Copies of this chain bind each other. A is one copy, B any other.
Amino acid sequence: MQAVGLITEYNPLHNGHRYHLRQAQQLTNADCVIVVMSGDWLQRGEPAILDKWTRAKLALENGADLVIELPVFFATQPAHLFARGGIELLSALDCTSVVFGAEHPELDFQRLATAIAARQGSFTHYNATFATQFNAALQAATGVTLTAANDMLSFCYYAANQTLAHPMQLLPIKRRQADHATTTIAADSRYASGTAVRQAALAQDWAALKPVVPADTFTALTTQRLQRWSDFWPFLQYQLLTVDVARSGQYDQMAEGLEYRMQAMAQHATTFDDFIHQVKSKRYTYTRLQRVATAALLQLTQAEVQKAQAHNYLRVLGFTPKGQAYLHQVKKQLPLPLYTKINQDLRQHALNLDYRAGRVYQLINGQSQDLYRQPWRLPVTIG
């Protein structure tokens, strides 16, 4: 059996994702479609609208054969680390190829990644102006600048892939939505951006939503509690009001002095949006601030995140019979630990950051995220 891999967030899974899943299989003729997916906290530093179990099930119902959780210490990171974590997991599962969307799939990402490899040390360490520094280096080395989010992410997949002993085949494909940030759902369209889908769901605009998401996603969005940052704001504010700045200065991705600014703004801010707006300055992007806010909420320190990143693992969220057969095939030679259930030891050690991330999410959605959960086995056969 051969496998194709995807690195995803599915926040939530919409028709564009479904199309992408099918295209990945058709393009590669793979026997098994493997999805690495962020858990309850996402790359833009925000909670997923639906929890990881619901989103994993939707993936299995719409073309995935095996869903693996991207641990929180990679999922809530800047593009190059997010990409590194995902590529590492797909490679560990011996995927032959990886398919992903890009705004400009015609770009020669391989050439760009090779050209910049020598300069890697100068920008792989995260800081306030990562995107700027990255593009300066890329511009200097190749004359090219990447501005679109998925072009940049695509580049990061190439950069991560080329560090592997056995690189996978990378297949960038055209995204169905040119503009990731389009926030409206066009009439008569079967496709919309994730942002538009989330806005429609939160506004309970079911009529607009229905045409652009699979039936299972529609059911999930109409029946489950939908999470957003404002749900967690009371906890974040409380945290920033009580933590010592010597401690908050150690939170992951915190910039020098930002801990004081966050502490000061937490005193009077009344909502999460208000808070981020007050903290915002030219030095920090909104995404960066949201990621720091996520680290603060989860009390993730830079030290524990970096330590965890050196010990990636395969956490199984679900599989189809094909996915199970594939897992069985590769099980014996896996270079990373494989976890299907969480026990007391994993909760306190190897999986402690994911457990913590899920437990905080659970404070709002009320569904256990780790304890007592077992991977989905789809399709469910009755009888």
Q: Which residues of A contact B (CB under 8 A)?
A: 234-235, 237-239, 241-244, 247, 267, 297-299, 301, 304, 356, 359-360, 363, 371
When distances are taken between beta carbons in the complex, the residues of chain B under 8 Å from A301 are 244
A237 to B359, CA, bound (A): 10
A298 to B242, CA, bound (A): 6
B241, B244, B359, B360: the one within 8 Å of A363 (CB): B241
Contact present for B299 and A363 (CB under 8 Å): no
Contact present for B235 and A360 (CB under 8 Å): no
When distances are taken between beta carbons in the complex, the residues of chain B under 8 Å from A360 are 238, 241-242
When distances are taken between beta carbons in the complex, the residues of chain B under 8 Å from A297 are 242
A236: nearest residue on chain B (CB-CB)? B238
A301 to B244, CA, bound (A): 10
Known: A241-B356, A356-B241. A234 touches B363 (CB 8 A): yes
Number of this chain's copies in the assembly equals: 2
When distances are taken between beta carbons in the complex, the residues of chain B under 8 Å from A247 are 247
A357: nearest residue on chain B (CB-CB)? B242
Return the 10 tightest CB-CB contacts between A and B, nearest first: A242-B299, A235-B238, A241-B359, A242-B356, A242-B298, A243-B299, A238-B363, A242-B360, A241-B360, A241-B356
When distances are taken between beta carbons in the complex, the residues of chain B under 8 Å from A242 are 239, 297-299, 356, 359-360
Contact present for A359 and B299 (CB under 8 Å): no
A247: nearest residue on chain B (CB-CB)? B247
A352: nearest residue on chain B (CB-CB)? B244
When distances are taken between beta carbons in the complex, the residues of chain B under 8 Å from A356 are 241-242
The distance from the CB of A103 to the nearest CB of chain B, in whole angstroms, is 37
The distance from the CB of A72 to the nearest CB of chain B, in whole angstroms, is 12
A356 to B242, CA, bound (A): 6
A266 to B360, CA, bound (A): 12
A241 to B321, CA, bound (A): 36
When distances are taken between beta carbons in the complex, the residues of chain B under 8 Å from A238 are 235, 238-239, 360, 363
A242: nearest residue on chain B (CB-CB)? B299
A247 to B359, CA, bound (A): 18
A347: nearest residue on chain B (CB-CB)? B267
A356: nearest residue on chain B (CB-CB)? B242
The distance from the CB of A113 to the nearest CB of chain B, in whole angstroms, is 37
Contact present for A359 and B267 (CB under 8 Å): yes
Contact present for B359 and A244 (CB under 8 Å): no
When distances are taken between beta carbons in the complex, the residues of chain B under 8 Å from A234 are 234-235, 363
From A235, A238, A371, name the one whose CB has the most chain B CB atoms within 10 angstroms: A238
The distance from the CB of A157 to the nearest CB of chain B, in whole angstroms, is 31
From A242, A244, A247, A360, name the one whose CB has the most chain B CB atoms within 10 angstroms: A242
When distances are taken between beta carbons in the complex, the residues of chain B under 8 Å from A237 are 363
When distances are taken between beta carbons in the complex, the residues of chain B under 8 Å from A298 are 242
A286 to B46, CA, bound (A): 38
The distance from the CB of A263 to the nearest CB of chain B, in whole angstroms, is 9
A296: nearest residue on chain B (CB-CB)? B242
A245: nearest residue on chain B (CB-CB)? B348
Apart from A239-B239, A242-B360, A244-B304: 10 A-B pairs, beta carbons within 8 A: A234-B234, A237-B363, A238-B238, A238-B363, A239-B242, A241-B360, A242-B298, A242-B299, A244-B299, A244-B301
What are 8 inter-chain pairs, A to B, with CB distance below 8 A? A234-B234, A234-B235, A234-B363, A237-B363, A238-B360, A241-B363, A244-B299, A244-B301
A129 to B339, CA, bound (A): 43
A234 to B364, CA, bound (A): 11
When distances are taken between beta carbons in the complex, the residues of chain B under 8 Å from A244 are 299, 301, 304
